[in-house]
Structure 1
Amino acid sequence: FLLELGEIIARSLLNLKMNLRTQTLLEESRNMTEELQKNEEQLQEHAREMISTQLKLENANVQLEGKMEEAKHANERLHLMLEHASEIISIYNSDGMLTYVSPSVINILGYTVQEMISGKDKERMGREDATRLAKTFDRLKETPGAIESLEYSFIMKSGERIRLRTSIRNMLHDTAIKGFLLNTTDITESIRVEKEQRLKTRMKALSENSLDLILRISASGVIYYANPIVEDYTEFAPSTIMNRNLSEIPFRQVFKDLLDEILSSMAVSPVKQNLQVTLPMEMGNFSTERILNVDAIPEFLESELETILVVGHDITESKRIEKEIKVQNLKVQESINYAERIQSSILPEISHIQKAFPRSFVFYKPRDVISGDFPWFFETEDSYYIAAVDCTGHGVPGALLSLVGLFLMNNLTSLQAGISAGVLCEMLHQEVRKALKQDRLNPGTRDGMDMAMCRFLKKKPVMEFAGAHRPLYLLSEGEITVYKGDRKAIGGLKHPKKPEVPFTNTEVPCRRGDKFFFFTDGLPDQMGGPEGLKYGSGRVRQVLLENPGFTIPQFNEFFKADFTEWMGEERQLDDLLLIGIEV
């Protein structure tokens, strides 16, 4: 019994201990559960905070990407603006070296940014202008923030020469720039516009003081302009007829008929017209007549006839002289002699040619008293131009054409600085056609001229040659080189089917001692010799090759003697001109 009781008591104690332990564990479990619940709540709170933070980060990233995209677009816009800007922005450091240039340089000058930084910036502006730029930098260094302006010529990548204006600011003190800031603009067009405006002003002044009658009339017959001389022919002051229609003004019938004819013909065919009209004039108690040569010139605006310029030149005196000349046919020879003196005075003096080319000669032998062949010489700042010119015919016709050629060549060379030999020939070709009215339908003349045109550059060992049916012979170190020129004359009629090609400009390097010879066809075409043949170009080459050691004076004497001997008893067929030059 006691054993059983003891076991019962023992089991009871054990159960009691187990219950106590279980309660303790349950209490710990409940506490742990509560703590876990708290921790879970904290974790959930942290998770919510992390989600919120992640959302904020995502929004921030989106905003950042938007800002970056906006900055990229702004940078692209800035680059496009700089690339297509009308000016070039550049920066030079304190040593005068280019460190930055805006992309617009490609569109304005044709060079890339790298080409400019590599040296094209100063190379293509010229040595003197580069020196001026360097001196400007030196002056500006002394005054921070100071600005100076500079204008200079620049050669684009295409080879075209333009004018640039540059504003230079000293920004060496600026931490962002640390150099000279340059803003450069192409002013070529503005200079051209200013020049045109000056020319228009001069033309107006010339018109106001001209002795020619000048009217500008609209296509509908309204007089926009009349110069003062109009009053002498119409008895109407310019102020009383301007901005009025022709139908409102009681002009004399002859003058009214003239203007009506011009308007009606221009309405049908707006091309330049030339008319002559005889106007009755009242001079006090006397009645007389004046003859006007009238040019009617259409003026267009966007291919539509806008106005007609009417220029009337008083040729009464010219007509009177023309009649007198017809009466004085018996004095033709005297006139020819006088013309010879005039031609001699106008043609370049041989001494002027020899001053430019000390080792040179001109073998000039007209067939008649006056000549259609002539030597031409013109000096410019950088070049000597010299040509052997052969006008159509000889005698009086050739001499008259020679004066046309001489004056046109002088004018073209004076007005076109640095014109090449080829371009000069081409422009002369067009001007001769205009002067002889060969650019019109049914021209009355086919006359023109052949020539060998040479341009010797003063500062370079090179010469330019262009030939109109005439060659150039170069004798250098005993060898002959022949430059044949173009198969094309100066002036004359256009070929109806064959398109014209501009004259070729040939550059020929010059070495000391080189001898150049060019001549008109009067030399090779002269008949004579033992068998009555032409002198020929081959004989000229033969003389040069057989006597390479001759000096220029020796060649001069040899050709004179050889030509005279060759001609013998034959008559001279044409004017002759041979020019020799040693450089």
Structure 2
Amino acid sequence: MFTPDPQTILIVDDSMANILALRDALNEYKCIAATSGHQALRFIHTQKQPDLILLDIIMDGMDGYEVCESLKSDAQTSEIPVIFLTAQSDPENLVKGFKVGAADFISKPFNIEELKARVANQLKFKKSLDNNTIYLKSIEEIYDTITDSMYYAQKIQHATLPHAAYLKRVLNEYFIFYKPRDIVSGDFYLVHQVENKKLLIAADCTGHGVPGALMSMMCMALINEIVNVGKIYKPNEILNKLRSIIIHTFNRDGDNDISDGLDASIVLIDPDTNLMEYAGANSPIYIIRDGELIDFKGDRMPVGIYPSQTPFSNHKINLKDGDSLYMFSDGYADQFGGEAKRKMMLRHFKKLLVSNNHLIMSEQKEKLSNYFTDWMGHNEQVDDVLVLGYRFNPNDTLELRHEN
């Protein structure tokens, strides 16, 4: 709804002759009148507010300066433009008038063309201001609605992630640092107890915000079906199956309109044999042992459409008591910050993990969280962030074997 026409002008003057003359000159507008400052203020606070006030300065009782000052000190009336009507056009009176909030001056006796031009300019500006306010209010209402929906979507997304009690039962000593960029996240994590083995998944879907969240919700549902219904536990087979479903789902018409996918790391840990199987799609994992970080790299391709869609590789890693495993998205290391306002980079992220590795997992999470906040400073968060840490218990030597 916009400012209606004709716009309303309140004429405040203790001379009826002046009021009538102004009404005649401004007959294209709706003109109402008050013959004193007190009457004008009562009218403004009890009736619909005018779009413009033509205010005489010299009046009995309350003069124009006092009326204008009262209007401008009240939030409800402060935006109504005031044009002073005066025979006193000396600089001192003009300065005083502008100081109390006048928008313009019209000298007596009135020049009708000048009067119309000045009134038209103020009303045009007022209409634009009113319409902008309406636009802004409408935008704020839309924003509030969208934000409320996003926060409700966040609750739904969190409900689909593994609950803390389940994670504690399956993993015992672990942490998850999870920080969406835009309320909902394109990153996700899953943990499954499959027979006597532990299946851990950390993934980063294309995009963030709503598109990333929709993708993550779909992929979580697909992985749960692959694992729970399909009984597929081998990490590379999970990635192969997930890629096949995603490509079929998004490109069933053969037009390749949607090329979204995800980067992911998956590990399957057998505590009876101290053996861990790992597959990665553009997503490495780190193991820290005796203060040294070992970087295991997955395949350099995403789970989705890619020019060379070879089967994902499966790595076998023998674990040792006290090994710390870290799975993560790229959001932490890609964050801009620090004194130089640059990316943190993986090299710095690795040093941070190593320097805090002696701490228990909950303390490591706190260190990572605090460091990330300090590093980011006043910069915007550039991406969703996920870091999953897990401390392994049984023991053996560490080695890597490769199979397709």
Q: TM-score, normalised by structure 2?
A: 0.59
Pair 1:554-2:363 in alignment: yes
Pair 1:365-2:179 in alignment: yes
User: Residue type matched to 1:550 in 2?
Assistant: L
Pair 1:446-2:255 in alignment: no
Aligned counterparts of 1:329 and 1:552: Cα–Cα separation in 2: 38
| CA offsets 1:296-324 (integer angstroms, 9 cap, x no match) | xxxxxxxxxxxxxxxxxxxxxxxxxxxxx
1:484 alignment partner, one of 279, 294, 297: 297
- SS of 2:367's equivalent in the other structure is helix
1:515 alignment partner, one of 313, 324, 329: 324
Provide the aligned C-alpha RMSD in A: 1.8
Aligned counterparts of 2:253 and 2:270: Cα–Cα separation in 1: 37
Say which structure, 1 or 2, has more relative contact order (CA 8 Å, 6+ apart). 2
Aligned counterparts of 1:581 and 1:469: Cα–Cα separation in 2: 20
Residue 409 of structure 1: aligned partner: 223
Aligned counterparts of 2:331 and 2:151: Cα–Cα separation in 1: 22
Aligned counterparts of 2:248 and 2:203: Cα–Cα separation in 1: 19
Aligned counterparts of 2:324 and 2:182: Cα–Cα separation in 1: 30
1:429 alignment partner, one of 212, 221, 243: 243
Pair 1:544-2:358 in alignment: no
Q: Which runs of 4+ in 1 moved over 4 A?
A: none
Pair 1:350-2:159 in alignment: no
Residue 288 of structure 2: aligned partner: 475
User: Residue type matched to 1:490 in 2?
Assistant: V
Residue 8 of structure 2: aligned partner: none
Give 1:459 shift.
Answer: 2.7
Aligned counterparts of 2:147 and 2:182: Cα–Cα separation in 1: 11
Aligned counterparts of 1:411 and 1:471: Cα–Cα separation in 2: 24
Q: Which runs of 5+ in 2 are unaligned?
A: 1-141, 393-404
1:563 alignment partner, one of 360, 372, 382: 372
Pair 1:385-2:194 in alignment: no
User: Residue type matched to 2:323 in 1?
Assistant: D
Aligned counterparts of 2:385 and 2:276: Cα–Cα separation in 1: 24
Aligned counterparts of 2:270 and 2:168: Cα–Cα separation in 1: 16
Equivalent residues in 2 for 1:263-282, closer than 5 Å? none
Aligned counterparts of 2:253 and 2:359: Cα–Cα separation in 1: 50
Q: Contact 1:372/1:392 (CA < 8 Å) preserved in 2?
A: yes
Aligned counterparts of 1:545 and 1:371: Cα–Cα separation in 2: 27
Give 1:547 shift.
Answer: 4.0
- SS of 1:570's equivalent in the other structure is coil
Aligned counterparts of 2:353 and 2:384: Cα–Cα separation in 1: 22
Q: Contact 1:354/1:361 (CA < 8 Å) preserved in 2?
A: no
- SS of 2:362's equivalent in the other structure is helix
Q: Percent of pairs identical after alignment? A: 31
Aligned counterparts of 1:364 and 1:390: Cα–Cα separation in 2: 12
| CA offsets 1:110-151 (integer angstroms, 9 cap, x no match) | xxxxxxxxxxxxxxxxxxxxxxxxxxxxxxxxxxxxxxxxxx
Q: Which runs of 5+ in 1 are unaligned?
A: 1-327
More helix by share: 1
Give 1:331 shift.
Answer: 3.6
- SS of 1:490's equivalent in the other structure is coil
Residue 574 of structure 1: aligned partner: 383
Give 1:548 shift.
Answer: 4.2
| CA offsets 1:448-501 (integer angstroms, 9 cap, x no match) | 11111111124321111111111100001121110111111112x241xxx421
Give 1:332 shift.
Answer: 2.9
Aligned counterparts of 2:331 and 2:144: Cα–Cα separation in 1: 30
Aligned counterparts of 1:329 and 1:568: Cα–Cα separation in 2: 26
Aligned counterparts of 1:536 and 1:550: Cα–Cα separation in 2: 23
User: Residue type matched to 1:347 in 2?
Assistant: L
Give 1:329 shift.
Answer: 9.6
Give the direction of change, closer, same or farther, for the CA distance of 1:575–1:511 in structure 2 (3 Å limit). Answer: same
Aligned counterparts of 1:474 and 1:399: Cα–Cα separation in 2: 29
Give 1:506 shift.
Answer: 0.8
User: Residue type matched to 1:454 in 2?
Assistant: V
1:334 alignment partner, one of 129, 148, 172: 148
Equivalent residues in 2 for 1:205-224, closer than 5 Å? none
Residue 247 of structure 1: aligned partner: none
Give 1:378 shift.
Answer: 1.9
Give 1:380 shift.
Answer: 1.6
Give 1:545 shift.
Answer: 3.1
Aligned length in residues? 251
Q: TM-score, normalised by structure 1?
A: 0.42
- SS of 1:580's equivalent in the other structure is strand
